[in-house]
Each structure stands twice: as C-alpha cells, then as structure tokens.
C-alpha cells in the first residue's frame, strides 16, 4: 500500500481522548465546551425543520446567513464583503482550511507554517504535493520571528498560514504583525490563509487583528471562521470562509465536488441567531473568566501558567517536575492523576520539548476545579 500521508497517524486529539475514556480521566485535552447551547438556536433548528426547510440550500450557503455574516464583518472590521462573491459556508473550519489550501497549492509549491501548528495544516499541504516550510514561533511568548520569515521566502513560496488567536498557545497577532506581513508580501504573489476560528476569544481588552481589516492582506487572503467555537455547537461542524472573488471561484470549484452544500436547518437557525450580537460580543469576557478560574485552581499544583491572550487554551509548564517528553508526561497524567491534556509536541514535526502541555479551559467550574485537585493530590 502506498500512503499519501506516510508520516501521519491518528490525530493526537483522538488518541488522548480515547486514553481519557479508558482511564475515566477528566478531559481537558480536546477543545470543545461542555456548556449547553443557547435554547434559541435549538428552537431555531426545530422551527426550520418543521417549516420543511430540509432540502439542499444554495451551494455557497443559505443566502440569508451569508448576508448576516457580511453585516457582522462590516460591524466588526469596517469592511464590506459581498455575500454572494466573497462568502462560502463550509462543514467546519478544518474543511475550509483544507479546501483553501487545495485551491492554492500545486505540486512543488512551498507554504510557510508557524509551529506549533494546528495538526491539519502540514498534512493538507503535503497531500496536495506542496512542501511545508515550518518556522518555530519564538519561545516562550510564541511570537513570529519576522526576520526568519523573510529569509525563507523565495519564488516557490505560494502561501503563508496564520492562526490568531493561536491554537495551542493562546498567542494573538498585533497590528505591528499585520503591518509587517503586508510589507513582507508586497510585490509577491504570496497568498494568506488566516485561521481565525477563535476571533471572539481575545482577552485583556485586546482587539482581534483580522486580515479583513487590512486591504493589502484581504485582497489575497482566505479567512476561516467557525460557528462551533462561538455558539458551543462544535458537533454541528459548520463554519465559513471569506475571500477575494476570483479566488473564491477556485475554492468553490473544489467545494462543489466535495460536500456541495451544508446542513440547511442549522444554517437557517444561525442566520436568525446572528441578529443577537451579544451572543458573540460577550464571549471573550466569559471565557477569560474560565481561564482565570483554572489559573486559580492550578495554584495548588506545581504547574506554571504561561501567557494566553486568546482561544480556549492555556499552556502550562512542568519544568519544575520532570524532564520527560511531553507525550510521555501527558500519558502519565492520565494514568496517575486522571487528567487528560495535549502535549504541545504534537503540534510540531520536530518538537523542541519545552516541557509544556495544553489545557482546555472552556469547561464548567466544577470540572476545572476537580481536574486541578486531582493533579495536586497526585503530587503534580
């Protein structure tokens, strides 16, 4: 058998979740909330189904939903995008990333990826015949080393993948980062794929620096978003992508032969719910509170918190406890303390072993407290 992804196995999220289930551990690994969805969304899906909105909707997405997204983008980022030309609804953010990369990358093309990187980026580049050029973010703040980026750009560079707020580190890009990127790609044909699924999870009053805010970037960017991360419905697997018209045509050529269109009743419900901006404008405040609660509970342990300005995640260092590899230490926590995390090494091809684990804090207070107590009682 000839594998198209010989270096890829089962995703770390599945591996650690299966271990957590086997040992009946608290799962702070996989990034999904355990909060209930808003009843209005559930009722909206039910209403749409009762109204017989159960057949295929438009390939590009339910028209009213795309209109509402365009209105939201205008309100948030002061930029106009066309709901028909620039927005496509997708079955989740990972699908949107896969399709965007597939639309752009030809065999032999190079794509710059910043590590630690979400685990789908590099396999998707490689399955399309491209080469991932991995650049490590600067530890411990996980900032982009722009001098290294400049040194890696050549005539084969097809795209750069951004992720802010960043999974797994919680780092966020600044205005200076975006201005620097504009300068770096000026007078090139380099495209940007911007993973912004945590756009509403930016803490400490910081703004989300979307590529859509910067004309020089927006004109050559696919920006990817997720409804699941915003409305506690990750199992719905719905997201969307925003991009320039000519490149959106290429995106849709692939999209039409893959999923073709997405779940209609859920799109109808989301279109109605987008009229309630408080559902996403208050999200950062709520999730920052959960991060701070976990930090408070974790003071009873020997773990050291690292800075997180966004996302569902915070890294914790175990340098004071062990020199074991991150994977081995994460497995030991499941087996001996009953708490599952994600080793940051899983987000690298050649991990540096900084002795950090990713904790997911989008969980109920009692779950976070119990996890910290278990770690403390086990001597961690």
CATH architecture of the region 40-276: 3-Layer(aba) Sandwich (3.40)
Q: Can you name the CATH fold of 12-30+282-377? A: 3.90.1150
pLDDT 10s digits, 139-171: 999 999 999 999 999 999 999 999 999 999 999
Tokens, residue 329: 């230490």
Beta-sheet pairing, 26-27 with 339-340:
parallel
On whether the pTM is more than 0.85, the answer is: yes
Pick from 233, 227, 160: nearest CA to 200: 227
CA dist 313 and 247 (Å) reads 32
CATH 3.90.1150.10 residue window(s) in the chain: 12-30+282-377
Q: What is the pLDDT of residue 171?
A: 98
Neighbours of 289 (CB within 10 A): 13
Return the closest-CA partner of residue 164 out of 181, 185, 147: 181
Residue 11's CB is within 10 A of a number of other CB atoms, namely: 14
- 1-10, 43-52, 286-295: the lowest-pLDDT one: 1-10
CA distance 118 to 114: 9
- Write the pLDDT tens digit of every residue in 119-138: 999 999 999 999 999 999 99
Domain with CATH 3.40.640.10 in the chain: 40-276
Of 157, 145, 213, the residue nearest 187 (C-alpha): 157
Q: For residue 230, give the H/E element and its range.
A: helix 228-231
Q: Which of 284, 103, 316 is nearest to 203 (CA)?
A: 284
Which contacts qualify for 48-56: CB closer than 8 Å, 24 or more apart?
A: 48/264, 48/265, 48/266, 48/268, 48/269, 49/265, 53/264, 53/265, 53/268, 54/264, 54/265, 55/264, 56/260, 56/261, 56/264
How many CB atoms are closer than 10 A to CB 155?
A: 7
Q: In this predicted structure, what is the pLDDT of residue 160?
A: 98
**Closest to 329 in 3D by CA, of 313, 343, 339:** 343
Q: Is the pLDDT of residue 66 over 80?
A: yes
């Amino acid at each position: 058998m000839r594998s198209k992804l010989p270096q890829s196995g089962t995703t770390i999220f599945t591996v650690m979740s299966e271990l957590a289930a086997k040992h009946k551990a608290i799962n702070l690994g996989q990034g999904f909330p355990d909060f209930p969805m808003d009843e209005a969304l559930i009722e909206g899906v039910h209403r749409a189904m009762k109204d017989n909105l159960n057949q295929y909707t438009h390939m590009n997405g339910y028209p009213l939903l795309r209109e509402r997204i365009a209105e939201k983008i205008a309100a948030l980022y002061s930029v106009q995008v066309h709901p028909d030309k620039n927005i496509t609804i997708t079955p989740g953010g990972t699908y949107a990333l896969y399709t965007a990369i597939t639309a752009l990358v030809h065999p032999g093309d190079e794509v710059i990826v910043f590590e630690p990187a979400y685990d789908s980026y590099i396999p998707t580049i490689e399955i399309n015949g491209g080469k991932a050029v991995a650049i490590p973010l600067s530890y411990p703040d996980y900032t982009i080393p722009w001098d290294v980026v400049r040194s890696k750009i050549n005539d084969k560079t097809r795209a750069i993948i951004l992720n802010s707020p960043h999974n797994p580190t919680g780092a966020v890009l600044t205005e200076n980062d975006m201005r620097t990127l504009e300068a770096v790609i000026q007078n090139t044909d380099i495209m940007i794929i911007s993973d912004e699924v945590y756009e509403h999870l930016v803490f400490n009053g910081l703004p989300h620096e979307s590529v859509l805010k910067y004309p020089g970037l927006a004109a050559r960017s696919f920006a990817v978003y997720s409804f699941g991360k915003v409305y506690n419905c990750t199992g719905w697997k719905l997201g969307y992508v925003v991009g320039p018209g000519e490149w959106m045509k290429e995106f849709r050529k692939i999209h039409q032969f893959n999923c073709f269109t997405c779940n209609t009743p859920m799109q109808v419900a989301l279109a109605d719910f987008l009229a309630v901006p408080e559902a996403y404008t208050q999200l950062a405040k709520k999730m920052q509170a959960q991060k701070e609660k976990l930090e408070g509970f974790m003071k009873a342990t020997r773990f050291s918190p690292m800075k997180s300005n966004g996302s569902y995640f915070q890294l914790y260092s175990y340098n004071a406890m062990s020199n074991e590899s991150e994977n081995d230490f994460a497995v030991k926590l499941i087996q001996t303390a009953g708490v599952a995390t994600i080793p940051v090494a899983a987000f690298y091809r050649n991990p540096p072993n900084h002795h950090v684990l990713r904790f997911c804090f989008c969980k109920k207070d009692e779950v976070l407290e119990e996890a910290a107590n278990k770690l403390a009682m086990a001597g961690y």
